[in-house]
Amino acid sequence: MSRVTAVEVKQIIDTELDDAVIDAYISSASALVDEVLSSEALSETLLKEIERWLTAHLLAVSRERQPEQASAGPTSIKYQGMSGLGLDATLYGQQVKLLDTSGKLAELAGVRKAGMWVIKGV
């Protein structure tokens, strides 16, 4: 699969980060897409778009947190997303869920469910 470039990521997320920093995020997104979606019947074009939007999501939940609400005085800012929301924490992650028609990434990022079994003593 052809990898996403920093320029392509910057087309969807406003950032001043150096391309080398963005490349590190691209590597993470690419590894996850390759590992989770390689066996799925998704086109190379779609896989590349998923990787691009996933990179933007990873940036938005770490180095480039996106403002949700801002005030001028007394200065205040509220950022998008909350921890524990997975791909739903950013608009970029929500786009990943839309693009990943297999649902595998959403499944991974979802809340893990605990299970309990009762074993009757003899």
- Whose tokens are 């007394």? That residue is 74
Cα separation, 119 vs 114, whole angstroms: 16
Residue-level pLDDT at 114: 47
Report pLDDT for 54. Answer: 97
Contact 61, 53 (CB under 8 A): no
- The per-residue pLDDT for 51 is 97
pLDDT of residue 73: 64
**What pLDDT is recorded for position 95?**
95
Question: Is residue 68 helix, strand or coil?
Answer: strand
13: left (phi > 0), else alpha (psi -120 to 50), else beta? beta
DSSP state letter for 111: P
- Tell me the backbone φ, ψ of residue 36, rounded to 5 degrees: -90, -35
pLDDT tens across the length of the chain (122 residues): 668 999 999 999 999 999 999 999 999 999 999 999 988 889 999 999 999 999 999 999 886 655 555 556 666 555 554 455 788 888 999 999 999 999 999 888 654 554 555 666 65
